[in-house]
Amino acid sequence: MNFRTLMIACMSVLIIWGCEHVIDFQEGDSKLQGITINALAVTDTVFTASISRAYLFTEVPALNYMDYWEYETRPDPFYEKEAVMSEAEVELTVNGQEKYTMRYTPLHFNYTSDYIPKSGDHIALRVKADGLEPAFAETVVPGIQQLEVLNCEKYYEKGHTSSGSLSDMSQDTVARITLRITDPGNESNYYRLKVRSIAYDKRADDSEEILQYSDIYSSSDVIFMNEQLTKSYGGWAAYFSNVFDDHLFNGKKYTFSIETRLRLGEHPHAVIELQSITRDLYYYLKSIMLYRITDQDAYTEAIQIHCNINNGWGILGGMETEKQIIRLGQ
């Protein structure tokens, strides 16, 4: 699942919860006033931002989805019809000098700029809207870190699973890939490792080529261990997180292995991305992973969704990616 899908899936979460904000209400108040900002500065990609109005959980209808796949892929109608702010004033400042006025794009329900982020850029985002306090956020786009592919071996393992209305169209072959990260010293670094297994299938009448892919992978390495994730989610194993920091290998080379199942179809390959992410994005993703496996009822302690928006809610993150492609055919 790419980051855009993740942001859409979690948008209603951010509408509901902020990060350690104290919300004061006068007697008789029933509404929450505030701006939610969700934006990710990705190098070599035009910068966009989703701007919405914050709502209390009592004002938002429940998401009645049948299963994980429906939840992850369907848009949230309340967000699109009620929460999105199409007439906000959104100003982007880069390195304290370059200023961009961002334009609303109805097709994508977001604001678009003419700016393409680069590593090391300092980004400041300010949002104003009638009747609401201005919201502000800033971040620095992280630098790229080295990812090497040391080895790849394949082995047979019987297995075919399905979830909800979608099946896991995989082979009985697993690729074990050995990787190495070179981590810079004298600073804390944060990462997300994305591994996408891909193949191309065809319909019975050869009329159309179908992309078969999965982002699910596994590893027994300690860097992926997360004791808080006590339940599996959408194919991801319990206690596993693909978001990690460098506290075990700061300033060193670190070697580890991951396993991904080959897809059904022709030209099987894996696209591996080492995403260097900002500290705030790291904690945001960690809190989202915990939130999505937590029962939402009156007896459950609220999960705080991390944010770095001043006078508002949401996340402004940064990401730089090192990519490797591994061919998995004969």
Q: What's the confidence (pLDDT) of residue 77?
A: 85
**Same-domain pairing of 138 and 177:** no
Q: What's the confidence (pLDDT) of residue 65?
A: 63
- Residues 160, 180 contacting (CB under 8 angstroms): no
**Same-domain pairing of 177 and 81:** no
**Between 28 and 246, whose confidence is greater?**
246
Give the HSE-up count for residue 281: Cα atoms under 13 Å, Cβ half-sphere.
Answer: 27
Q: 214 is in which domain, residue-wise?
A: 146-276+323-327
For the record, the structure tokens of 112 come out as 């678009």
Helix, strand and coil percent figures for the chain, each rounded to 5: 15, 45, 45
Q: What's the confidence (pLDDT) of residue 48?
A: 98
**Same-domain pairing of 29 and 137:** yes
**Same-domain pairing of 210 and 246:** yes
Pick from 167, 166, 171, 322: which is nearest to 260 by CA? 171
Q: Which residues have C-beta within 8 Å of that of residue 145, sequence separation ≥ 6?
A: 181, 182, 183, 184, 189, 191, 274, 276, 322
**Same-domain pairing of 272 and 290:** no
Residues 123 and 33: their CA atoms lie apart, in Å, by 25
**Same-domain pairing of 150 and 246:** yes
Residues 160 and 167: their CA atoms lie apart, in Å, by 8
**Same-domain pairing of 7 and 128:** yes
- Residues 258, 150 contacting (CB under 8 angstroms): no
Q: What's the confidence (pLDDT) of residue 209?
A: 84
Residues 224 and 226: their CA atoms lie apart, in Å, by 6
Q: Which residues have C-beta within 8 Å of that of residue 210, sequence separation ≥ 6?
A: 200, 201, 202, 203, 265
Residues 48 and 89: their CA atoms lie apart, in Å, by 14
For the entire predicted model, the pTM comes to 0.87
The predicted model gives 19-35 an average pLDDT of: 61
Residues 131 and 9: their CA atoms lie apart, in Å, by 28
**Same-domain pairing of 228 and 308:** no
Q: 20-36 burial, b for 16+ CB within 10 Å, e for fewer?
A: ebeeeeeeeeeebebbb
**Same-domain pairing of 138 and 8:** yes
The label of the residue with tokens 């956020």 reads 137
Number of domains forming the structure of the chain: 2
pLDDT digit string (tens) for 186-239? Answer: 899 999 999 999 999 876 667 788 889 999 999 999 999 999 999 999 889 999
pLDDT above 60: residue 166: no
Q: What's the confidence (pLDDT) of residue 297?
A: 64
**Same-domain pairing of 152 and 210:** yes
Residues 328 and 326: their CA atoms lie apart, in Å, by 6
The label of the residue with tokens 């990462």 reads 191
In terms of phi and psi (left: phi > 0; alpha: psi -120 to 50; beta: otherwise), the region of 267 is: left
Interstrand relation of 35-42 and 313-327 (parallel, antiparallel or unpaired):
parallel
- Averaged pLDDT score across all residues of the chain: 87
Pick from 193, 196, 200, 201: which is nearest to 221 by CA? 193
pLDDT digit string (tens) for 293-308? Answer: 887 666 667 788 999 9
pLDDT above 90: percentage of residues in the chain: 66
**Same-domain pairing of 88 and 216:** no
